[in-house]
Structure 1
Amino acid sequence: MSAQPAAPSAAAEPMTHRQILEALSGLLLVLFVAMISATIVSVALPQIIGALEGSQSQYTWVVTASLLASTASTPIWGKLADLFNKKLLLQIAIVIFMVSSLACGFAQNTGQLIAFRAIQGLGMGALQILTQVVIAAMISPKERGRYNGYLGAVMAVATVGGPLIGGLIADTSWLGWRWCFFIAVPFTVAAFAMLAKTLNMPTVRRSDVSIDYWGATLIALGVSVLLIWVTFVGGSFDWLSWQTAAMAGGGVLLLVAAVFVESVVKEPVVPLHVIRRRTPALAILASLAVGMAMFGGSVFLGQYFQIGRGYGPTAAGLLTIPMMVGVLFSSTISGRMVSKSGKTKPYILAGLIVLLAGFAGLATLDHQTPLVLVSAYMLAVGVGVGMSMQNLVLVIQNTVPLREIGAASGAVTFFRSLGGTIGVSVLGAILAGQVATNITEGLAKAGIPVAGGGAAAGGSLNIAALPEPVREIVRAAYGDATGRIFLVSAAIAVVGLIAAIFLKPARLRDSLDITEPGTGPAPKQEVATTTA
């Protein structure tokens, strides 16, 4: 990534609207493929693990491996984008993602698949953050609003649409589960070619580059340990146990060490002076709620429709379309309105209020709730996510100079992904406990003795293999328990709404860069006139 410095030159000419749209098409395509890969395997996992003769713990790790690598590496990629050429980093990330997707498709056992999914997670995390960083480097915050609407729509449609596409592949006999991974390859090749032609960014080389290897390592280890703990607590071991003390305590100590390192190094991976400010801190807190909505909604609603209501994978994916529609239209429309007005707070507040209303509605779900009501609640959640998700990123980007845009964007994306990952794990634990209780009570009422209680009866998700009376009890247990987890989501959405209320109203700037008061001139840079 290094090259001989060129003579300084004037800043590159601003991109025209047509040039931005051309570059944006490739960026959105690669972002869509990266995000869809995180959820496309969710409904096909039973088939995948069965074909590779894997275990239940390996089932969990096929999902967790990519989430761990993606979440932990996000701030590192964001910082690298501040130090090196953004286009070259994006191209490297595309290659990592494409090669690992092929490897996943050719995996011969679950051990290989988990390892390749971890590498795929590195590419997924890189593509998600680098896409936002490149857009921020091309477009001023005020104009970025309408383009971020497209970005938010793609992210949300990919998150919700992944299970639908995975269901279609799982239900199509002549394709097979391996196409859940192969499907990404032609799109990444097309995106690479499009970006090579349309994305022309000046090569910026800084004369004072230093990389915070210690901070990056400590952050990655600390986050990984905590996420591993959240994944297995309540299942493999109790919340109050020596394993919890060792893993949770160890993870916290690693992150405390990371904070110390970040406070003393010259080029921190996560700039503490940025996230300590009121506006970024509040936006990050609100992003945690949105992250839970994005991931939790798609994961548990898909399970609700399949297990609690008895629909197949494809039908379950189709039933989540109202959420997809809500995000698609609200993110696009609110993005344009943000660019027109230059204000973000009113749309963030409105979005989080609608999100809270949607979660409150979903908290009333049981196995007999009319689908019309379920669709209305999902639509509200989708509208809330669309109006708030990318605008929260925009709030932070508006407060930092261009040289810190990568680290700042990486920080908010990191915390949003972390919130989503932890949220899915915690909500999953709550769901499992409530399902076991419901099954035990249902079996007792029906006079059916089951060794091991409700946990044993609901231990298999192969509902069709259960006897008819037990099958209906298990379906009702899952359907009725789902409302409990969305009640928790509604409570977390309240925290996000309170954080958004205290955001300072601010107009988006028209310029790409700012000069922070009291920081002096920006670090010396050498700008090459050639493009990567």
Structure 2
Amino acid sequence: MSAQPAAPSAAEPMTHRQVLEALSGLLLALFVAMLSGTIVSVALPQIIGALDGSQSQYTWVVTASLLASTASTPIWGKLADLFNKKLLLQISIVIFMVSSLACGFAQNTSQLIAFRAVQGLAMGALQILATVIIAAMITPKERGRYNGYLGAVMAVATVGGPLLGGLIADASWLGWRWCFFIAVPFTIAAFALLAKTLHLPTVRRTDVSIDYWGATLIAAGVSVLLIWVTFVGNSFDWLSWQTAAMAGGGVLLLAVATWVEAKVREPVVPLHVISRRTPALAILASLAVGMAMFGGSVFLGQYFQIGRGYGPTAAGLLTIPMMAGVLFSSTISGRMISRSGRTKPYILAGLVVLLAGFVGLATIDHETNLVLVSVYMLAVGIGVGMSMQNLVLVIQNTVPLREVGAASGAITFFRSLGGTVGVSVLGAVLANRVATNIAEGLAAAGIPAGGSAAAGSLNIAALPEPVKEIVRAAYGDATGHIFLISAAIAAVGLVAAAFLKPAKLRDSLDLPEQAPQQEAAARA
């Protein structure tokens, strides 16, 4: 029989002051992880241009970190149930610091993509471990308020990231490499704060079992499918032997992974949790939110710079409405949820607003009034702030404390998976649409077709003026199409959330002990 962790009665909620002290280093670590993604978003056109990269490589600089984060998230979540959470967090901070330095020293896009993948491992750890540690300290009902703080930190990082990235990219005395070097002092400060303020009881297990096969199969299956999505329609046709091999192989690997997860004693993704109605619907909604949010917002910086001709700093400033929406809606909805104990009304309202925002963004082109674009982005931000973290809370409310790590890891995994798939799919759609628009624009302008090769570069400043205008219009007009896809995905999330059972958040840190028959019935 498996050894059980410390009795739930030993886990008492911390005081507000103790929680805030512990959260200081924890939220700074999360801030570092979020900042690393957003600080690069606005500078990416300049980075890829300086390294002479392509649109496909542009997408993979983002996808590599998301993929590594996605594949490792359930592993980190499971490890948090088995080992010292604080030690795991400190290890992930060190990995993040080293990989950030490596990204800053990258000499070509291949190196940058590889180092970003390593950075993604740490990003996944920081995000899931922050969620798990908060769940270990605070009851679900009170967690709504602290999740508001979590959302606020994420919003500040997301707001400050593009602004800081733009300023660094525009500063000739710094250069884009400092977009990665800047993370180092934050990681050192986070490590020191955690060492001083975070104190959790160590839960020791005598029968630790890690599902390496399941983790490997899940990572391999997802990777193969994402590589297929990136190259299909460009390097080979949708109906081809490459498609059959890669898509079929990816699905087969994930099917075997599911079989493994059903058999092992300590699965990375606990099927008995995610197969219940409420967690399954919350995961589906979270997957859709992740796909729409990450996949849609990652290309906004590119739209403002290439499609509209703004510099990195200006592009960062132009994304503020979306981030302000996340900041205010996550903070306010978190406090209201803590008062009422109900999550479903806020999640539904958020997804409706998210859908409306993406429908608006689907109408933009290279001449759309920026006030309208700001309104649409604000709606997307409000929708994300009201839904994303609260969907995690829905699942955490249904599981005992000993399974919080695995359950949180599962929903974060699927949300990150949605984001990774979203970036890959929308990036592929955007690349194909841009190529078509550029070819049509060159033909209409009477420019020889050979110029289209140069036009495919993201180093816009090096292009002749007539070609430059054609490329800007191509990117500006193509962006609306990917937001239409994001709107359709958000609609799927809204339908899933509509079928969630209304439930009140519990006041206790752990679920009450249940008889074996009751627990078996709950899992049915």
Common fold: TM-score over 0.5: yes
CA distance change for structure 1 residues 242 and 157 in 2, over 3 Å: closer, same or farther? farther
| TM-score between the two structures when normalised by the length of structure 2 | 0.92
Q: Per-residue deviation at 1:406?
A: 0.6
2:485 aligned partner: 488
**CA deviation vs aligned residue, 1:83-118 (integer Å, no higher than 9, x gap):** 111111111111111122223223455554443322
The answer to which of 347-356 and 180-189 deviates more is 180-189
2:75 partner SS: helix
- The amino acid across from 2:461 in the alignment is A
1:526 aligned partner: none
What's the Cα RMSD here?
A: 2.4
Q: Is the 8 A contact 1:439 1:457 kept in 2?
A: no
2:449 aligned partner: 451
* In 1: Cα distance, 2:57 partner to 2:5 partner: 50
The answer to which of 191-200 and 241-250 deviates more is 241-250
1:514 aligned to which of 498, 511, 516: 511
* In 1: Cα distance, 2:506 partner to 2:282 partner: 18
Q: Per-residue deviation at 1:515?
A: 4.1
Q: Per-residue deviation at 1:53?
A: 6.4
* In 2: Cα distance, 1:126 partner to 1:95 partner: 11
Q: Is the 8 A contact 1:157 1:327 kept in 2?
A: no
**CA deviation vs aligned residue, 1:390-441 (integer Å, no higher than 9, x gap):** 0000001101111110111111111111111111111122222222333344
CA distance change for structure 1 residues 56 and 217 in 2, over 3 Å: closer, same or farther? same
* In 2: Cα distance, 1:105 partner to 1:42 partner: 15
* In 1: Cα distance, 2:385 partner to 2:328 partner: 8
Q: Per-residue deviation at 1:470?
A: 3.1
* In 2: Cα distance, 1:440 partner to 1:8 partner: 66
The answer to which of 156-165 and 142-151 deviates more is 156-165
**Residues 1:377 and 2:376 aligned together:** yes
CA distance change for structure 1 residues 61 and 311 in 2, over 3 Å: closer, same or farther? same
**Residues 1:231 and 2:233 aligned together:** no
Q: Per-residue deviation at 1:292?
A: 2.6
**CA deviation vs aligned residue, 1:152-175 (integer Å, no higher than 9, x gap):** 232244345433322211111111
The answer to which of 165-174 and 504-513 deviates more is 165-174
Q: Per-residue deviation at 1:472?
A: 2.4
* In 2: Cα distance, 1:161 partner to 1:440 partner: 37
CA distance change for structure 1 residues 54 and 469 in 2, over 3 Å: closer, same or farther? closer
User: How many residues were matched structurally?
Assistant: 516
**Residues 1:70 and 2:69 aligned together:** yes
Q: Is the 8 A contact 1:62 1:113 kept in 2?
A: yes
Task: Trace 1:521-532 onto structure 2 (pairs within 5 A).
Answer: none
Unaligned residue ranges in structure 1 (runs of 5+):
523-532
**CA deviation vs aligned residue, 1:164-218 (integer Å, no higher than 9, x gap):** 3222111111112221111111111111111111111001112332221211221
1:437 aligned partner: 436
* In 2: Cα distance, 1:52 partner to 1:310 partner: 20
Q: Per-residue deviation at 1:520?
A: 6.9
Q: Per-residue deviation at 1:249?
A: 1.4
1:254 aligned partner: 253
1:328 aligned partner: 327
* In 2: Cα distance, 1:353 partner to 1:227 partner: 28
Q: Per-residue deviation at 1:68?
A: 2.0
CA distance change for structure 1 residues 268 and 112 in 2, over 3 Å: closer, same or farther? same
CA distance change for structure 1 residues 223 and 161 in 2, over 3 Å: closer, same or farther? farther
* In 1: Cα distance, 2:240 partner to 2:356 partner: 37
**Residues 1:273 and 2:268 aligned together:** no
| TM-score between the two structures when normalised by the length of structure 1 | 0.91
* In 2: Cα distance, 1:471 partner to 1:111 partner: 26
* In 2: Cα distance, 1:60 partner to 1:314 partner: 21
CA distance change for structure 1 residues 471 and 392 in 2, over 3 Å: closer, same or farther? same
1:466 aligned to which of 447, 463, 466: 463
2:203 partner SS: strand
**CA deviation vs aligned residue, 1:221-280 (integer Å, no higher than 9, x gap):** 212222222233333333322222222211111111111111011111100011111111
CA distance change for structure 1 residues 328 and 14 in 2, over 3 Å: closer, same or farther? same
**Residues 1:128 and 2:127 aligned together:** yes
2:476 aligned partner: 479
Task: Trace 1:152-301 onto structure 2 (pairs within 5 A).
Answer: 152-159=151-158, 161-301=160-300
- The amino acid across from 1:451 in the alignment is A
2:499 aligned partner: 502
* In 2: Cα distance, 1:6 partner to 1:461 partner: 54
- The amino acid across from 1:119 in the alignment is V
The answer to which of 211-220 and 292-301 deviates more is 292-301
* In 1: Cα distance, 2:164 partner to 2:475 partner: 23
CA distance change for structure 1 residues 111 and 356 in 2, over 3 Å: closer, same or farther? closer
